Amino acid sequence: MSAQTGTPSFVPSPPSSRAVDLARTSLRRVRNNPNPIWIRELRQAARLGRTPIILMTITALVALLMTAIGGIMSVAASPSTIGITLFHTFFSLAFFVVTLLGPALAANSVASEREGRTWEAVILTGLPPKTIARGKFLSAFTNISMYIVMLAPVGALSFLFGGVTALEVVVAFFFLFLFALLGVAFGLAISSALASGRTAILLSLLLAFPLTLVAYLGLGVGLSVAANDAWPAVIGGAPVWLPTAYERAPFSLEYITFLVVIPIAGLTVPAWFFYEITVANLTSLTDDRATGLKRWYVVMVPLLTAAIVIPVVTLGNGKPSGSIMVGVSILFSFVVFAFFVFQGDAIGPSRRVLVHWERKKASQLTRFMGPGLVKTISLVFVLGSVGILVLAVAGVAVSLLSPHVTDRQLEAERVVAFVEYAATYLLFLGGFAAWIRTKASTSGVARVLLLVAIFLSAAGPWIVAAIAGVISEGSDEALIVAAPSPFFAFVLVGMLDKAQRGLATIVGVICSSAWALIGLGLFAAASVRAKRIIHEHFAMLSESEKMLAQEDEELQRMDLQQQNLDSAPENALVGQGESGA
């Protein structure tokens, strides 16, 4: 039932396993019980006078630009060339519109509620953070979708000229909606962490602009060259290549990998992450904010590992160590990113979380996936290490077995040397992340200190080497001074086929072992400190509970005494009556 839409209460249909029935039930539920925040924001947006003006202005400007380009080109170019040019121009512009406007629209949602002091009223209604997040998402996504729909007739112009098919235009529009989805989710995640609408909009635009540019140039223009190599029908150097590839590339394993699996993963990984971050930020500090994000991480590591391993294994490559190094670097960066994210986890579960676990008889797995800093960082490290190990095994296997590899021994050694350094340095970072969080007053401070530690350990040795002037000597041995830096792993790999390999290997092993030992020590210290903090906190609560229980007993005793006193005269009278009788 919805008071806003006047729809009656939703009565669930009899249970059915048919997909059609399930879909129908879901649709009825959405229609009868629409997200209240979504409906309210739509009503508010409908009264905003500037929205149609902005929509009309953008549409008119894009239409003018497209017709101008078409008009100028029609003098010399063929219709199909005009069609292709208009297609790339329109969808490039539309891409920037949705990826910049989407975050900006979403960024204002939660932050403006906090700023306008309406947030507490919403929270106190008992709406779960997930429902609020979905409502806010739907609202911003509906807004940005209106922009896409308004632009649709202009975008369809390109296919009228030829050069691109109707299906390619439809797929391109579909991708616009997907990019809008990501943009909105990104803006919402930022908004959920801030208390000022203007700051949220500014920050989301500051972050969205470079990301959009990198995505456009890297994934658009850059990847189109590789796509053209793989599938010559796809135009190289053209930014909007992906929607055309679905029709132009022949169906194969590569098609499934690069046009289905990787785009789905590329969309799901960040979208799910932004959703979980939003929900965590909307959840009270003393509730369970960790489980959703940990679930995301647990799923993402194997997915990411598979996404790296599959191309390495399937594509014939003469130097698999290079691919593995790139893959390990990606996975390594992902795990380090997770360390930063999980710095926001609570040091231990709150009393509220513990009581809820107890009442629900929560399983050990539920408890493990709940809040608790050390176990969370340990989980992040262990899973990340397993992923890196899988990459190492795959790399060694491909090096030793692939017919494309010439120097099998060297390739395998390179993989092992690189992975060993990466894993041990990761252990250090994990230990440091856990330890510094138990020392720092807030998660923000802990994140900054972790960043400083990474910078000092990664760049510091190179700075020392530069100051000493050893780099300028041009000797490879001199680079050994920088062995404590994780970037030394790349130098080490490069030295394995040279005369200095013995020294470089020894120094590399010493340094990586040192990182591992320090990491283990920090993990142990963090564990001890976290336990002490939790113990002190609960000991204080326990003391408080005891005191309150004693007070209750005392009050009960006094009440009882009072009752006895009150009933004493009556008893006396009764006694007199009895004796009189």
Partner 1 sequence: MSTISIVDSSLDSVSISATAPRNHSPYAIRVRHLWHRFGAFDVLRDVTFDVEHGQIFGFIGPNGAGKTTTIRIIATLLEPMAGRVEVDGYDVAVDSESVRAIIGYMPDHAGVYERVTVREYLEFFADAYQIPHLGVVETVMELTDLEKLQDKLVVEMSKGMKQRLQLARVLLHDPKILVLDEPASDLDPRARIEMRDLLLELRALGKTIFLSSHILTELADVCTSVAILERGALVVAGPIAGIAEQLERRRYAMAYGHHAAEDRPAQLPSSPQGQPQQASATGVEAPGGQSAVQPAVTPGGVPVPGSARKRLKLRVLTDANQAAQLLWGGPGILEVEVHASGNLLVGYQGSDALIADLVRHLVTHGVAVVGVEPERSELERIFLEVTQGEVQ
Applying CB under 8 A, the residues found at the interface with partner 1 are: 1-4, 6, 9, 36-37, 39-40, 43-44, 47-48, 116-118, 120-127, 284-286, 348-352, 354-355, 357-359, 367-368, 372, 375, 531, 534-535, 538-542, 544-545, 547-549, 551-552
Least distance from partner 1 to the Cβ atom of residue 117, Å: 4
Smallest distance, Å, CB 282 to partner 1?
A: 13
Residue 538 CB, nearest approach to partner 1 (Å): 4
Residue 341, CB-side half-sphere exposure with 13 Å CA sphere: 25
**Which of 123, 267 has the CB closer to partner 1?**
123
- Taking the mean position of all CA atoms in its chain, how far away is CA 215? 17
> What would the DSSP string read from start to end of 241-303?
-HHHHHHHSPPSHHIIIIIIIHHHHHHHHHHHHHHHHHHHHHS-TTS--SHHHHHHHHHHHHH
**Least separation in angstroms between CB 54 and partner 1:** 16
Q: Which is nearer to partner 1, 112 or 323 (CB)?
A: 112
Distances in Å between the Cα of 505 and the Cα atoms of 325, 340, 418, 477, 551 are: 17, 31, 11, 12, 68
Compute the least distance from the CB of residue 144 to partner 1, in Å.
19
Between CA 61 and CA 59 the distance in angstroms is 6
What the block records as the tokens of 283 is: 């959840």
d(C-alpha 111, C-alpha 511), whole Å? 46
Which distant-in-sequence residues (6+ apart) come within 8 Å of 18 by Cβ?
none
Helix, strand, coil share (%) of the chain residues, nearest 5? 80, 0, 20
Measured distance between the N- and C-terminal CA atoms of the chain, rounded to whole angstroms = 71
Which residue lies nearer to partner 1 by CB, 106 or 495?
Answer: 106
Angle at 252 between CA 246 and CA 258, to 5 degrees: 55
Q: Which is nearer to partner 1, 43 or 439 (CB)?
A: 43
CB 295 within 8 A of CB 366: no
- Minimum distance, C-beta of residue 107 to partner 1, in the bound complex (Å): 18
Residues in a beta bridge with 358: none
In whole angstroms, how close is the CB of 127 to partner 1 at the nearest point? 5
Of 499 and 547, nearer to partner 1 (C-beta) is: 547
Q: For residue 447, which amino acid is it?
A: R
Task: Report, in Å, the least distance between residue 112 CB and partner 1.
Answer: 10
Supply the minimum distance, in Å, between the C-beta of residue 111 and partner 1.
13
3-state secondary structure of 7: strand
When computed from its CA atoms, the radius of gyration of the chain, rounded to whole angstroms, is 31
Which pair of tokens denotes residue 481? Answer: 């001074």
Residue 125: CB minimum distance to partner 1, A: 4
229 or 545, CB closer to partner 1?
545
Residue 140 or 479: the one with the smaller Cβ distance to partner 1 is 140
Find all residues with CB under 8 Å of 201, minimum gap 6, and list them: 104, 107, 108
User: Which of residues 123 and 514 has its CB atom nearest to partner 1 in the complex?
Assistant: 123
CB of 40 to partner 1, least distance (A): 4
Q: Which is closer to partner 1, CB of 6 or CB of 469?
A: 6
Amino acid at 295: R
The nearer residue to partner 1, 319 or 531, going by C-beta atoms, is 531
Q: How far apart are CA 361 and CA 531, in angstroms?
A: 23
The residues with which 7 forms a beta bridge, in sequence order, are 2
Minimum gap (Å) between residue 552 Cβ and partner 1? 5
Closer by beta carbon to partner 1, 122 or else 445:
122
Distance between CA atoms of 328 and 345, rounded to whole angstroms?
26
Q: Residue 437 has which token pair?
A: 């969080």
Tokens (6 digits) for 19: 């997909």
Task: Indicate the residue among 146 and 178 with the shorter CB distance to partner 1.
Answer: 146
As a whole number of angstroms, the distance between CA 135 and CA 158 comes to: 35
CA atoms within 13 A on the CB side of 177: 12
* Closest separation in Å from C-beta 3 to partner 1: 4
Identity of the residue, 40 or 501, whose beta carbon is nearer to partner 1 in the bound complex: 40
